[in-house]
Amino acid sequence: MTTLLTRRMLLRCALGAAALPFGPAMGAPANANASDAASRIALVIGNGAYRAAPLKNPPGDATAVAASLRNLGYDVTLRQNTRLTELIESLREFSMRASKASVRMLFYAGHGVQVKGRNYLVPIDADPKSEEDIQRQSADVGEFVDRLSAIRTGTNIVVLDACRVNPFAGGVIVGPDGRRLKFRGATPGGLATLDAPVGTLVAFSTAPNGVALDGANSEHSVYARHLLANLPTPGLQIEQLFKRVRIGVAEDTGRAQVPWESSSLTADFCFKPDDKGRCG
């Protein structure tokens, strides 16, 4: 069985760490939105078909976000219900293209968990029996952010609607055959804090250690719905966009869910400039 150390080394290689002489990241220039579409890329992932704890909204959320970004001129790669190999390969391919793009965005909807202070995106075929299994069978968000932020120019945007439930927090998981299995370890709810490196904004659908709502009785999760409503607003700077999302989600959930961002952006950015090509 692959050891945890080997697993992490393989992931780093998959994300291109060994191939590029990375250095400190810098913020995107103020006119990044005026670049051609090929310089604005997005990877959009929606995982919902989990065996033990399926989610209703992520595939539809991802499809809608991908369509919105395409309408805004982004070159979008959409992945639905990814298994581990596809999840890792999608992140690898995206990171290989990243150095040539001025704007790089990841949107992920699905299960996400924290283990020992690190955040992991969970593929649909994950079958962990312990916290160590989660680390081996999932993708480390922090490592992916590090790879993007090491590129010297451009803007990185990572949006994680990934705290809907923690299927492993209760210490018992239900296997695909209905058997109840003891899970070794008790992972906290939600995701851990993640400091955004320079040139990067990381947006979470709820506060650290909090749980987001899946929106089982609606077309989209409450977070995705407000994100979709604000993405096409002309001239809306990204910080104000996520502030509007936070206000809307907090109001809709009676403050049970309050989105949170970590940002170290050093330049103005908006998804859609106004009619004069400006942000703000």
Task: Tell me the per-residue pLDDT of 150-190, one tens digit each, with 9 for 90 and over.
Answer: 998 999 999 999 876 555 655 443 333 343 333 333 444 66
The answer on pLDDT for 201 being more than 50 is: yes
User: What single DSSP character describes residue 102?
Assistant: S
Task: Determine whether 157 is exposed, middle or buried from the number of CB atoms within 10 Å of its CB (0-12, 13-18, 19+).
Answer: buried
**Other CB atoms within 10 A of residue 19 CB:** 11
Q: Which of 169, 44, 181, 157 is closest to 110 using CA atoms?
A: 44
Query: Would you say residue 95 has pLDDT above 90?
Result: yes
| Architecture of the domain made up of 4-263 | 3-Layer(aba) Sandwich (3.40)
102-136 tens-digit pLDDT: 999 999 999 998 888 889 999 999 988 777 888 89
Residue 137 CA to residue 92 CA, distance in Å, equals 16
Quote the CA–CA distance of 167 and 33 in Å, as a whole number.
Answer: 39
For residue 228 the two structure tokens come to 């979709």
Which helix (H) or strand (E) segment holds residue 121: the answer is strand 118-121
User: pLDDT tens, 221-278?
Assistant: 999 999 999 999 999 999 999 999 999 999 998 998 899 999 999 999 999 998 888 8
Q: Cα-flanking dihedrals φ and ψ of residue 172, to 5°?
A: -135, 135
Average pLDDT, the chain: 80
* pLDDT at 52 exceeding the cut of 60: yes
pLDDT at 245: 98
Contacts of residue 176, defined as CB under 8 A and 6 or more positions apart, other chains included, come to: 51, 52
CB 82 within 8 A of CB 47: yes
The mean pLDDT of 184-208, rounded to a whole number, is 75
The residue assigned the tokens 């992972």 is 187
Q: Could you tell me which residue, 275 or 65, shows the higher pLDDT? A: 65
Task: Please give the residue that has the higher pLDDT: either 280 or 72.
Answer: 72
pLDDT at residue number 143: 93
Q: Is 254 left (phi over 0), alpha (psi -120 to 50) or beta?
A: left
Q: Specify the pLDDT at position 71.
A: 97
Greater model confidence, 10 or 100:
100
Q: Is the pLDDT of residue 101 over 70?
A: yes
Q: What is the pLDDT of residue 148?
A: 92
Structure tokens at 64: 């809608």
Predicted confidence (pLDDT) per residue in 4-50, tens digit? 444 444 444 444 433 332 222 333 333 444 444 459 999 999 999 99
The domain spans of the chain are 4-263
